[in-house]
Amino acid sequence: MTEPALTGIRRFTRRFRWIYLAPVLMVLALSAWAFASPIGASPDDDYHLASIWCANESRTDLCAPDPVHGDGWRLVLPGITTAPCYVADDTKSAGCQEWPNVPTPTVAADHGNWIGAYPPLYYAAMNVFATHDIQASALVMRLVNVLIFVALTTALAILLPVVLRVPLIAGWMITMVPLSGYLIASNNPGAWAVIGVGGAWLAALGWFRTTGPRSWALGALTALSVLMAAGARTDAAIYSIIGLAIASFLGFERTRTYFLKLLLPAGLVLMAVIFFFTSGYAGVAVGGLNGGVPDAATRDQATALAFNIVSIPQLWTGVFGSWGLGWRMEVWPGFSTIEFATLAVFLGLSSLGLRFMHTRKAIMTVALVATLYVLPIYILTRGGSVVSENVQPRYLLPLVVVLAGLLLLTQSQRQLRPGRWHVIPAIILLAGANLIALYMNLRRYVTGFDVQGLRLESGAEWWWSDFPLSPTALWVFGSVVFAATVVVLGVTWLRWNRGPATAPEALQ
């Protein structure tokens, strides 16, 4: 090798940082989750897939008006309008599914977003990738969601002030397993809800704390994040407003510049309000949720209220694994271990931020925790429902992600400085929890839980055709790259601690 080539290699290795690999590793780790479930596995996918395929009225080869039933009905491709055959039985694999290759829509359906229950943006965006090959199209959509999440988070990490990078990256990682990772890599509009809400509040805070082109870029990412969230789910429109309020309160200054910058959040709040009130689910704010509960109308509200008051924490812990994944959200084998590991990491690392508590942060933390408690109580009790009915942990997940980042937030230019015995156990616990969660998710669909054994392909009843990796190989691959991701991020965080306790460049 020539001397100039060696010099170039040395220069590259001196400048290279392992953190540069984190986005690639995260894409690979979440892509493993995208392939770990069959099409239709995420909650209410019969509704969401039909809504995606019917989101563009001009594409009549994918979805057409129903001449027999009229308004409220559509003709859709077979296979996407009914609950998957494995939903009601966790010993049943996804091998029972059939995907007929029909060139025209032939099945009459009245279950989709053509009635306007959800905001339309998510479905319209995903419709771009819809084809007659339902499985291939849905997989592409999952991978697009993964790329959007990683691209948005990477852009924020580059643009945000240094002191906001820990709340961004660590906030995501301590809430990633298992529900965030599963949902982001799914076809559910909740993917955009959690991505948008989780990114918008920090982008808005960065908008207030920076100047120049950097500030304008963060303003654009704020607008994009709110648009994604509010355009995907009705509740995410409200969560976006909450996130913008938190950022505006934390960034408050008695300056003309601040009040001028406040115009952006104000405009985005207006946009979110429009999405909310044009959605069919806006009525939940008045009537609550009671779907699928036969005796909800006759229940004593005082009794339901008392039960919900003491049971709401079950919804919080569901984010960390006390509830299963998929349609029924049933508790799967091994999920108690996942819950212990992920909750320990969340409580251990987020509690570090308590040392940096100041008045504004304390007010917003109390307000956010109160919202996480009071909001589901109201929605459930108003509709005559109780915890375990209608409201699921995934509905609260975006606000939990915001809470994680808020707790990790420091004041002004001070950095959060964990010790190695904070970070190393967190790496081990998160990697171990993801390993178990990914395995149990694969086991659920490859064979069902009536089959045991470490090798997933032993007795396999379902898997992707022509996919180069076996179920076990995908499990090992996904587990390794996720572990590599948390190692890279954890080591980088520890190395930041070798620098000064403040970061004067953070506000530049």
- DSSP letters, 382-402, are HTT--TTSS--HHHHHHHHHH
Report the amino acid identity of residue 93.
Answer: S
Q: Is residue 470 part of a domain?
A: yes
Q: Is residue 82 part of a domain?
A: no
Q: Is residue 114 part of a domain?
A: no
Q: Is residue 457 part of a domain?
A: yes
Q: How far apart are CA 412 and CA 408, in angstroms?
A: 13
| Sequence-distant (≥ 6) Cβ neighbours of residue 110 within 8 angstroms | 69, 72, 73, 74
Residue whose C-alpha is closest to residue 172's, from 406, 460, 423: 406
| Sequence-distant (≥ 6) Cβ neighbours of residue 334 within 8 angstroms | 436, 437, 439, 440
The number of domains in the chain is 1
Q: Is residue 187 part of a domain?
A: yes
Task: Show the domain range for 399.
Answer: 18-67+120-507
Residue whose C-alpha is closest to residue 178's, from 340, 21, 328: 340
Q: How far apart are CA 216 and CA 155, in angstroms?
A: 13
Pairing of strands 107-109, 63-65: unpaired
3-state SS, residue 293: coil
Torsion, Cα 130 131 134 140, to 10 degrees, reads: -50
Q: How far apart are CA 190 and CA 181, in angstroms?
A: 11
Q: What is the pLDDT of residues 300-356, one digit of tens each?
A: 889 999 999 999 999 999 999 999 898 876 777 888 999 999 999 999 999 999 989
**37, 302, 455, 478, 480 from 473: Cα distances, Å:** 15, 52, 9, 8, 11
Q: Is residue 42 part of a domain?
A: yes
Predicted TM-score of the model (pTM): 0.94
Write down how long the chain is. Answer: 508
Q: Is residue 270 part of a domain?
A: yes
Q: Write down the H helix ranges in 210-283.
A: 212-230, 234-250, 256-261, 263-277
Q: How far apart are CA 334 and CA 341, in angstroms?
A: 11
Structure-token match 């988070």, residue found: 153
Q: What is the pLDDT of residues 210-269, one digit of tens each?
A: 999 999 999 999 999 999 999 999 999 999 999 999 999 999 999 999 999 999 999 999
- Give the single-character DSSP code of 106: -
Q: Is residue 428 part of a domain?
A: yes
pLDDT-flagged residues of the chain (< 70): 1-16, 286, 292, 294, 296-297, 329, 412-413, 497-508
Q: How far apart are CA 386 and CA 15, in angstroms?
A: 56
What tokens were used for 454? 């470490």
Q: How far apart are the first and last CA of the chain?
A: 42
